[in-house]
Amino acid sequence: MRAFTDKLLPGRWDEVRSPDRKELKATTIIAMEISEAAVKARSGPPSDDDSPDAELDAWAGVVPIRTAYGTPEPSPGLRDGIAMSAAVERLIA
Tell me the domain boundaries of the chain.
Answer: 1-30+78-93
| pLDDT of res. 53 | 82
Per the CB < 8 A criterion, the answer to whether 13 and 6 are in contact is yes
| pLDDT of res. 55 | 86
pLDDT digits (tens), the chain, 93 positions = 999 999 999 999 999 889 999 999 999 999 999 999 998 888 888 888 888 888 888 788 888 888 889 999 999 999 999 999 999 999 998
pTM: 0.55
User: Can you point out the beta strands (E) in 31-77?
Assistant: none
Torsion angle of alpha carbons 48, 49, 55, 56, nearest 10°?
Answer: 60
